[in-house]
Chains A and B, each alone.
Chain A
Amino acid sequence: MISYLVFAGTIAGFYALLSLGLVTAWGQGGLVNLGLVGFVGLGAYASALLSGAGIPIWIDWIAAAAVSAAVGVALCFIVRNLRGDYLAIVTLGFAEILRLAETNEKWLTKGSDGISGIVAPLKDHLGDSFALFYLILTWALVGIVAFVLSWLLRSPFGRALRAVRDDEQVAAVAGKSVLRLKLQAFGIGAALSGLGGALYAHFTSYIAPDVFIVQLTIYIFLAVTVGGYTRLAGAVVGSLALVALLEATRFIAAVIPGLDAVQIASLREFAIAVTLILVMQLRPDGAFRMTNERSGLGASRSAPDACYGKKAILDDAT
């Protein structure tokens, strides 16, 4: 039971890293990225391949984040002028193309067989306590990332980023480089996705293209929406809630008699999808609401919708 909880907690840590990335890019920057899972896969494969070539793991992780960030910035730059609904199509398609490449470039990725035997850090020394060590390592990284991000988002960079989210033209008039801010936010999001993917790869020691499908993107959107999509705390809490939901559905599906494995799996996915639809309808602000915009204008603007639009920009400009 303990080892099961440790495992689930580690997975929650990976989700938390991805969610922190999504909060930064989407919640704070207003950027559309439905191809999140593509960057997770990119990081996972980059790290797995580099470690396979004998490069130390900590360098692999940095490289994984860097590769994902670079690809993310490049993609964001190419599509910089596209509207939101077009971006949804393009980013979704981009992740699909990456998955195709992972499946078909067998010389590099071993195709749909996947890469197995990915080395885990210190596993030989730690033995049975490896799982606990990895749990602590993952959450330590989550803590560091959350700390750095919260500092960053409170800094002028964060305020400018929110200004871009709320009204690009006003931000541009105020002298902010809109494009650079967008690239930076998208890059941070992609880097964290890549790092999360790399951590996952070295934890399970096996990756395959099937792992990096659109379902994972939906999971992370669920985590972020449950927690509150503009808040770092929301990302962390949402990830824990996501894992709790995933594991709960596992147990519930198992006690329903007469279901085969395919039915259990599809029931769980169905539950996740329906939960996301319900949360988006009933509590789109999640557990932690947007707060940063309120400071200047007092309590009069309590309705969530009023957080958007041109008025919200005022307290950022002052």
Chain B
Amino acid sequence: MLTDLLQYLVNGLIVGALIALPALGLTLIFSVLGFVNFSVAAQLTAGAYAGWLANTTLHLALVPVLIIAFLVAGALGVVTDRIALAPIRRRRSAQTPLMVAVVSIALNMALENAYRFSFGSGLNSFDMPIARDMKVGGIRIGLQQLHNLEIAIGLAVLLALFFSLTKLGKAMRAVADNVDLARLKGIEPVRLANLATFIGMGLAGVGGALLAIDTSVDPSTGSRLILLIFAGSVVGGLTSLPGAVVGALLMGVIGELGLLVLPPVYQSLTAFLAILITLLARPGGIFSGAAGVRK
């Protein structure tokens, strides 16, 4: 029983680590730009497809595949943001947040159908050597999944260093906190917004590629996960980067443990309930109170 429980815990952490990257991206974009970008799902899928193409046509190894996934998803994120979302975001009206949300869903739909048009609706698998699962004290761990966990944690640490040590990172946190004050200090919001979108969507792309290596990629890969990603981000407080990582890991574990009582098809239900309960009970996320809400 204890091994079973530990197995669920490990599985949950592995799922959570994959979710953590897009959740980080979503949180980063929300912190700096102040809106919820639903097209993160399509950018995740973009990263997965880019990685798949790089791997199957150019026969690249894991690390270059992930770098390509990051660059493609990040660039696509910035371009589509500039073309589709930025003109609407600039408008000052009470309806703006909803309109941006709707347009980002439409953008997601457009991208998803562009993938479907180009690659068909089928599942596409990577051409990577399959490592045998390890057994540690009765718990099964896939080597690839362990790598995913390491990469996700590594990227999160890298991001944390970027935000606490570099000037650019500090500037982005300043914009996230207060746009007007940041502008007074001579920080240009548009450039930082682009950078935040690039990094955020790039992270989603890496998450997508890792996920697709583990399973496969199809046009709806990202959309199927969107509730789980949002749950990770919301539970973490939507503006806290460490919160997004912890929230995603938590959602992974809760989702797996939920399998004990719920049929697997209802995994999104736990995510939805987590979102609802967090927003109703602690809109600032699980970390609010302890360290104070940043925004």
A residues bordering B, Cβ < 8 Å? 26, 30, 32, 34, 78-79, 81-86, 88-90, 92-94, 96-97, 100, 103-104, 165-166, 214-215, 217-218, 221, 229, 262-263, 265-267, 269-270, 272-274, 276-277, 280-281, 284, 304-305, 308-309
- A26, A165, A166, A218: the one within 8 Å of B109 (CB): A218
* Bound Cα distance from A280 to B90, whole angstroms: 12
B108 nearest in chain A by CB position: A273
Q: How many residues of B contact A (CB 8 A)?
A: 44
Q: CB within 8 Å of A: which of B195-211?
A: none
Residues on B with beta carbons closer than 8 Å to the beta carbon of A30: 94-95
- Please tell me if B154 contacts chain A, counting CB pairs below 8 Å: no
15 further A-B contacts with Cβ under 8 Å, apart from A96-B272, A103-B265, A305-B92, are A30-B94, A34-B102, A93-B268, A96-B268, A218-B106, A218-B109, A262-B117, A265-B116, A267-B117, A269-B113, A273-B110, A276-B102, A277-B84, A280-B103, A284-B91
Q: Which residues of B contact A (CB under 8 A)?
A: 35-36, 38, 84, 87-88, 91-95, 97-99, 101-103, 105-107, 109-110, 113-114, 116-117, 120-121, 219, 227, 230, 234, 263, 265-266, 268-269, 271-272, 275-276, 279-280, 283
Asked whether A266 lies within 8 Å of B116 as measured between CB atoms, the reply is: yes
In this complex, what residue of A is CB-closest to B102? A221
Q: Are A90 and B110 in contact (CB under 8 A)?
A: no
Chain B, residue nearest A104 (CB): B265
> Which B residues are CB-close (under 8 A) to A281?
84, 87-88
* Complex Cα spacing A313 to B272, Å: 36
B275 touches A93 (CB 8 A): yes
- In the assembled complex, which residues on chain B have CB atoms less than 8 Å from the CB atom of A82? 279-280, 283
Are B269 and A97 touching (Cβ within 8 A)?
yes
Interfacial chain A residues near B35, Cβ < 8 Å: 85
Known contacts A84-B97, A280-B99; is-contact A270 B117 (Cβ 8 Å): yes
B106 and A214 contacting across the interface, CB-CB below 8 Å: no
> Within 8 Å CB of A284, what residues of B?
88, 91, 95, 99
Residues of A within 8 A of B227 (CB): 93, 96
Residue A34 contacts which of B101, B120, B263, B268 (CB distance < 8 angstroms)? Answer: B101
